Amino acid sequence: MRTPFEHAVARHGAVVLRVCRAVLGPGADAEDAWSETFMAALRAWPELAEGTNTQAWLVRVAQRKCIDLIRARARRAVPRAELPESPSALGLPGEDEGEVWRLVAALPERQRLAIAYHYLGGLPHAETAEIIGGSGASVRRAAADGVKTLRRRLAAAPEKEEPR
Amino acid sequence: MKDMQDHPLETPPEELFGVDARALERLRARLGEEAAGAGELDVAYRLLDSPLGRLLVASTERGVVRLGYACEGFDGVLQGLADAVGPRVLQSPSRLDEAARQLEEYFEGRRREFELPLDRRLSTGFRGEVQRYLPSIAYGSTISYGRVAATLGRPRAVRAVGTACATNPLPVIVPCHRVLRADGALGGYVGGTEAKRSLLCLERHEGL
């Protein structure tokens, strides 16, 4: 690519952060995955073919970085069956809109990943199915079910923070 | 990629999946610092507020390579740098702390010369010769395009000197604003004639 890398960060930084948060939760791991994604993308940027779909390319890089972080997390801690539903100490107090990401973290894994790569990251359902298994149709369903549940829980959440 | 179009759900409402602008800003700042620290950048840049409006200052590993005025269009300035130096271009403010400090001192009338490593790779040929000569014009003084041409041994290259000034990649730091027309008229300036007039006033201790 001949365009300044800064444009890619400005244009796609938020999408990549959404993907990382949906996969890893609202805490520091998602931010580390974001940083590693853009560092790796920066190194590869001059060689990336013109006309590449930059967002999809970045989401794929983010997916690999998230897997790396999940593996690292598994090495350093005993995995838990469920993520905490109460406000997480991992979140940065006062700095994130936490609620929605905590609710995403509480969804079944398949719905969470379908939301991350397909719904938020914009990868085609067929490609998402290659990443998370199952068929394209089931990815579509998992994302739709997850979003429906989220909307219901957000509406039910007492004292939900006004998103900015 | 055809089924990218075939999106089964409506576009995610950004207000539902909120991402705090401050969190992103912090991440972007950290990325710039880390990338610069790791030597992964072709160009690091920073935006500064000045009495002449917003400025863009950019540097490579070798030194300051470009100063851009808002009227030039920062997108175009960055694309020019990506083309000439390389596309790994990121904001990395701390890499430009020293340049920012010296510019601030200059605009406050507390600095007469810049002591910064410069990367002159955008100054080639006769233009480069002119641009390298410009810092020898003393603070507060002016000279005509023709005089510069004569000094460089090319007395007939007056127009080329004008072009060299107009395409100076490092205005302010490399003082092309000190070159005027022979009749004393201001001549053109990359930041606009108003900016040129302001810089000359500043250097006559009239302030900005």
CATH of residue B186's domain is 1.10.10.10
Chain B positions in Cβ-Cβ contact with residue A38 (cut-off 8 Å): 31
Residue A75: pLDDT band with limits 50, 70, 90: confident
In DSSP notation, B30-95 reads HHHHHHHHTT--SEEEEEEEETTEEEEEEE-SSSEEEEEEGGG-HHHHHHHHHHHT-S-EEE-GGG
In this prediction, residue A20 carries a pLDDT of: 97
User: How confident is the model over B35-63, as pLDDT tens digits?
Assistant: 999 999 999 999 999 999 999 999 999 99
Does the pLDDT at position B32 exceed 90? Answer: yes
Contact B8 A46 (CB under 8 A): no
* Strands, sheet with B53-59, edge to edge from the N-terminal-most edge strand: B64-69, B53-59, B43-50, B89-91
Is the same domain home to B130 and B101? no
CATH number at residue A141: 1.20.140
CB within 8 Å of chain B, chain A residues 127-156: 140, 143-144, 147, 150-151, 154
Is the same domain home to B129 and B167? yes
Q: For residue B188, what are its two tokens? A: 């053109």
Kindly give, in sequence order, each residue whose CB lies less than 8 Å from that of residue B21, ignoring residues fewer than 6 positions away: A164
Is the same domain home to B76 and B130? no
Provide the domain limits for residue A45.
5-156
**Of the candidates A146, A79, A154, A152, the residue with the CA atom closest to the CA atom of residue A116:** A146
Is the same domain home to B160 and B102? no
B17 domain-assigned: no
Does the pLDDT at position B16 exceed 80? Answer: no
In this prediction, residue B6 carries a pLDDT of: 43
A52 domain-assigned: yes
Is A78 or A37 the better-scoring residue by pLDDT? A37
CATH number at residue B57: 3.30.160
A163 domain-assigned: no
Instruction: Return the H-helix or E-strand segment holding B179.
Output: strand B179-180
Q: Is B185 on the interface with A (CB under 8 A)?
A: no
Report the pLDDT averaged over residues B57-70: 97
Residue B15: pLDDT band with limits 50, 70, 90: low
A136 domain-assigned: yes
Question: Nearest-CA distance from B168 to chain A in Å?
Answer: 21
Residue A87: pLDDT band with limits 50, 70, 90: very low
Question: Nearest-CA distance from A120 to chain B in Å?
Answer: 7
| Total of domains in chain B | 2
ipTM: 0.88
Contact B18 A3 (CB under 8 A): no
**Of the candidates A127, A108, A107, A105, the residue with the CA atom closest to the CA atom of residue A118:** A127
Residue A94: pLDDT band with limits 50, 70, 90: very low
Q: Is B31 on the interface with A (CB under 8 A)?
A: yes
Q: Is A52 on the interface with B (CB under 8 A)?
A: no
Instruction: Return the H-helix or E-strand segment holding A75.
Output: helix A54-76
Q: For residue A84, what are its two tokens? A: 């905490």
A162 domain-assigned: no
Considering CB atoms only, which of A42, A95, A144 is closest to B23? A95
In DSSP notation, A37-70 reads HHHHHHHHGGGSPTT--HHHHHHHHHHHHHHHHH
Q: Is A42 on the interface with B (CB under 8 A)?
A: yes
Contact A6 B21 (CB under 8 A): no
Provide the domain limits for residue B102.
23-107
In this prediction, residue A98 carries a pLDDT of: 75
Active site residue B176: yes
CA atoms within 13 A on the CB side of B7: 14
Is the same domain home to B103 and B131? no
Distances (CA, A) of A77 to A55, A69, A73, B203: 32, 12, 6, 64
User: How confident is the model over B105-161, as pLDDT tens digits?
Assistant: 999 999 999 999 999 999 999 999 999 999 999 999 999 999 999 999 999 999 999
Is the same domain home to B89 and B157? no
Does the pLDDT at position B75 exceed 90? Answer: yes
Is the same domain home to B102 and B129? no
Q: For residue A38, what are its two tokens? A: 């853009």
Chain A positions in Cβ-Cβ contact with residue B19 (cut-off 8 Å): 14, 17-18, 21, 97
Q: What is the mean pLDDT of chain B?
A: 92
| Total of domains in chain A | 1
Chain A positions in Cβ-Cβ contact with residue B88 (cut-off 8 Å): 5, 42, 45-46
Helix, strand or coil, per DSSP, at residue A86: coil
Under 8 Å CB pairs connecting chains A and B tally to: 115
Residue A93: pLDDT band with limits 50, 70, 90: very low
Question: Nearest-CA distance from B31 to chain A in Å?
Answer: 6
Is the same domain home to B36 and B93? yes
Q: Exactly one of B71, B165, B176, B201 is catalytic; which is it?
A: B176
Chain A positions in Cβ-Cβ contact with residue B79 (cut-off 8 Å): 3-4
